[in-house]
A and B are shown apart, each in its own frame.
Chain A
Amino acid sequence: MLADAIRAEGYRLSKNRMTVFWSVIFTPLLFAVGGIAYHLNKAQGDKLAAGANLPTMPVSPVNLAEALTFTANLAAEAKLGGMILVFMLIAGATVYAGDYRWESWRLISARNDRTSLILGKVGVMKVLALATMLVLLVASLLFFASQAIIYQRPLSFDMSLAEAGDTLLIWLLSCIRIVQFGLIGLLTAIVTRSMLAALFVPLALGFGQSILGIPPLMAFLGLHPDGWAAQLLMPGLSYDALKTLLVPGITPAPITAAALWPAIVGLALWTLLPLGASIAWFKRQDLSKE
């Protein structure tokens, strides 16, 4: 039954080309084009400064493996990560609240159990998040490769097993963070039956949490970054803490080992609670009033 729900939801989303373009392709495309333009511009500047031929940079190989870590960090970084998040939330609002807007729940809810219908949507959104990360990876590879081409540097792929593990961990955490926002959108969609609310409530919540995470404000409120209260209130802080603690040196967050369990619980709570609440609410929901 879950497989049917995923197949149906995936098929429907694949036909919604606008949503797929904006959520999966637009940001990575922007990054790739912007990155290549940056390299070209910088090379031009270097050329003018040197008054001679390239290269002005040291002739070391461009390591494509760095694109993997780079991508994972980009997805969580404020500017590009924020853009990805916004477009993913737009897709999430379409997937999660679309059936209320189009009054199509009554078409499919009589053909499958409600838990499968919700999990099917979550599954498709996870695939969409992963697809976005993969397209972003392709864009990163293009960014790195363009650097090599423009500066006439050799390409290499050099990554140790430990680095691969760290990169995978960052990818996983970034994916959880994206899906987490989506799940808050899911709960909002079910409770409000509104696409706009499904988009703006997670954004507003994320914005509020980031304000709350400003160190002076935290200090004013007596919240310690390592403490349970801060970690349970701010999943973004949990994400940073876990990245810092599990992949040392990746982010300079002021976190100690004491934050590990609060961060794990905080991240899990903000993932599982919206999902559980969504399923419980949806199972009892009157679907004749769409």
Chain B
Amino acid sequence: MTAVIETRGLAKTYGTVRALDGLDLSIPRGGVYGVLGPNGAGKSTLFRILLGLIRSTDGTAIVMGGGVGDVAAMRRMGSMIETPRFPPYLTARQVLEWLARAQGITGAADIPRWLERVGLTEAADRRVRGFSVGMMQRLGVAAALLSDPELIILDEPTSGMDPPGIQEMRALIRALADHEGVTVVLASHQLLEVQRVCDRVAILNKGKLVREGAVSELTAVGERLRLSVTQQAQVLEVLGSKGAAEGDAVLADIKRAEGPALIRALAGAGVDIHEARWVGTDLEAIFFTETGAVQAPETIHAG
């Protein structure tokens, strides 16, 4: 598995603040990769270094096989950092035409296609000074995709979008990764969103990598079968030490493979099972554990 981004001992210091502290990270080609972390964890600093907007204090970063600032390598990737802004007198179409010229793809850029994919066809000839934050985000994503890149880096791609917009963006990101072979690296504070769209994640805290892995593997740890049943006491007796009550339900600490047999056994014993579903340690729980951030009561996951 080749890496599209590789950092070794990457560090960035702002005065006395160490925004990145010897970060070793390898992002594989293909799929959607999420970079998570609380504010000040170093996500934006990492992206800014990778895009050559700022210089690292120490360490190395390789992007698309080239060093940061290698224009040929950089042109094989697209990016959108924070909420993008554009010269206000340009229309959405003109913004893309301008950026196409900026990366030497005059005439070849399929601008109408990208405008359509981000849902801006109707607003294509409107000046961007009247655009909402969500529309700016969409245009920023179109700009990032303009050169048909192999890698795109998106910082908070759904920020400021309405729910349908978020859903469309999620579908677009997945389609890029699944059907067009684009590696998508994104940072987001919306953990549920990340869990839904990402294949792998890295969690940063205080400039360091604290956890990295496939979302399916991370969330499988501590996975339990949650059974909504009428006869709770009977089920707890069957499960013994592997069972625990959670409200009216029972949590069964068993492996996935044992699930069907347990359900069959309980049904055979006359237990009324209203619902059975696997609940894991979701990304949000992992995030709060790894970063030590304080979880607000309303954000405690329901599984």
Distance of A37 Cα from B97 Cα, bound (Å) = 43
Query: Of A4, A16, A286, which is within 8 A of B103 by CB?
Result: A4
CA distance A17 to B81 in the complex (A): 29
Q: Does A5 contact B (CB under 8 A)?
A: yes
Q: Which residue from A17, A102, A109 sits with its C-beta under 8 Å from B52?
A: A109
- Minimum CB–CB distance from B167 to chain A (whole Å) comes to 26
User: Which of B85, B86, B88, B106 makes the CB contact (< 8 A) with A7?
Assistant: B106
Cβ contacts B95-139/A at 8 Å (1 or 0 each): 001110111101000000000000000000000000000000000
Of the listed stretches A24-32, A110-118, A165-173, A229-237, name the one at the interface; the rest are far from the partner chain: A110-118
Q: Within 8 Å of chain B (Cβ to Cβ): is A206?
A: no
**What separation, in Å, do the CA atoms of A102 and B98 have in the docked complex?**
14
* Residue among A11, A109, A286 making CB contact with B97, cutoff 8 Å: A11
Q: How large is the interface on B (under 10, 10 to 19, 20 to 34, 35 or more residues)?
A: 20 to 34
- Which B residues touch A102, using CB under 8 A? 85-88
Q: Is the C-beta of A287 less than 8 angstroms from some C-beta in chain B? A: yes
In-complex Cβ contact of A109 among B53, B94, B98 (8 A): B53
- Answer yes or no: B170 CB below 8 A from chain A CBs: no
Chain A stretch 61-109: residues in CB contact (< 8 A) with chain B: 98, 102-109
Contact A16 B89 (CB under 8 A): yes
Contact with B along A1-21 (1 / 0, CB 8 A): 101110110011001111000
A15-B89, A110-B74 are contacts. A4–B102 as well, Cβ < 8 Å?
Answer: yes
Set of chain A residues within 8 Å of B102, measured between Cβ atoms: 4-5, 7-8, 107-108, 111-112
For the complex, give the distance between the alpha carbons of A199 and B111 in Å: 35
The residue from A12, A110, A112, A288 contacting B98, defined by CB atoms under 8 A apart: A12
Residues of B contacting A288 with CB < 8 Å?
44, 48, 53-54, 81
| Chain A neighbourhood of B18, CB < 8 A | none
Given A286-B53, A287-B53, verify A113-B99 contact (CB < 8 Å): no
Alpha-carbon distance A284/B79, docked complex (angstroms): 21
Given A7-B101, A15-B89, A112-B103; 6 other pairs, CB 8 A cutoff = A7-B106, A12-B90, A18-B89, A105-B53, A107-B84, A110-B79
**Chain A residues numbered 115-143 whose CB sits less than 8 Å from any CB in chain B:** none
Tell me the bound Cα distance from A217 to B97 in angstroms: 53
For residue B187, give the distance in angstroms from its CB to the closest CB of chain A: 14
Complex Cα distance, B53 from A106, in Å, reads 7
- Nearest 8 interchain pairs by C-beta: A8-B102, A8-B101, A111-B103, A103-B85, A4-B104, A110-B51, A7-B101, A287-B53
**In the assembly, what is the distance between CA of A58 and CA of B267, in Å?**
119
- Give Cα A105–Cα B75 distance, bound, in whole angstroms: 15
Interface string of B62-92 (1 = CB under 8 A from A): 0000000101001101010110111111100
**A contact residues around B86 at 8 Å (CB):** 102, 104, 107
A interface, size bucket: 20 to 34
Q: Is B55 an interface residue (CB 8 A)?
A: yes
Give the distance in Å from the alpha carbon of A286 to the alpha carbon of B85 in the complex. Answer: 17
A23 → B minimal CB distance (Å) = 15
CA distance A5 to B48 in the complex (A): 21
How far apart are A12's CB and chain B's nearest CB, in angstroms? Answer: 5
Chain B 37-52 interface residues, beta-carbon cutoff 8 Å to A: 44, 48, 51-52
Enumerate 5 A-B pairs (CB-CB under 8 Å) in ascending A order.
A7-B102, A17-B89, A106-B53, A107-B84, A110-B52
Q: Does B143 contact A (CB under 8 A)?
A: yes
In the assembled complex, the CB of A94 is this many whole angstroms from the nearest CB of chain B, namely 9
Structural contact, A11 and B79, CB atoms closer than 8 A? no
The CA of A43 and the CA of B41, in the complex, are separated in Å by 77
Q: Closest chain A residue to B98 by CB distance?
A: A12
Chain A residues, CB < 8 A from B89: 15-18
Interface set, chain B 172-224, CB cutoff 8 A to A: none
**Given A107-B143, A110-B52, A112-B102, does the pair A16, B87 have CB atoms closer than 8 Å?**
yes
| Known contacts A103-B85, A104-B87; is-contact A111 B53 (Cβ 8 Å) | no
Known A-B contacts A106-B51, A110-B53, A288-B48; the reply to A1 vs B87 at CB < 8 A is no
Distance from B130 Cβ to chain A, minimum over Cβ atoms (Å): 15
CB of B183, distance to nearest CB on chain A (Å): 16
> A286 CA to B53 CA in the complex, in Å?
6
Chain A residue contacts of B52, Cβ below 8 A = 109-110
The interface residues of chain A lying within 8 Å CB-to-CB of B44 are 288
Complex contacts, A106 vs chain B, CB 8 Å: 51, 53, 81-82, 84
Q: How far is the CA of A7 from the CA of B71 in the complex (A)?
A: 17
A286 and B54 contact, CB distance less than 8 A: yes
In the complex formed, the residue of B with least CB distance to A105 is: B53
Most buried by B among A3, A7, A12, A284: A12
CA distance A110 to B75 in the complex (A): 8
C-alpha spacing A104/B87, complex, angstroms: 7
In the complex, chain A residues whose CB is within 8 Å of the CB of B99: 8, 107-108, 111
Which of B54, B79, B98, B103 has a CB less than 8 Å from the CB of A287? B54
Which residues from A are CB-within-8-Å of B106? 7
Contacts of B54 in A (CB 8 A): 286-288
| Interface positions of A from 146 to 167, Cβ below 8 Å from B | none
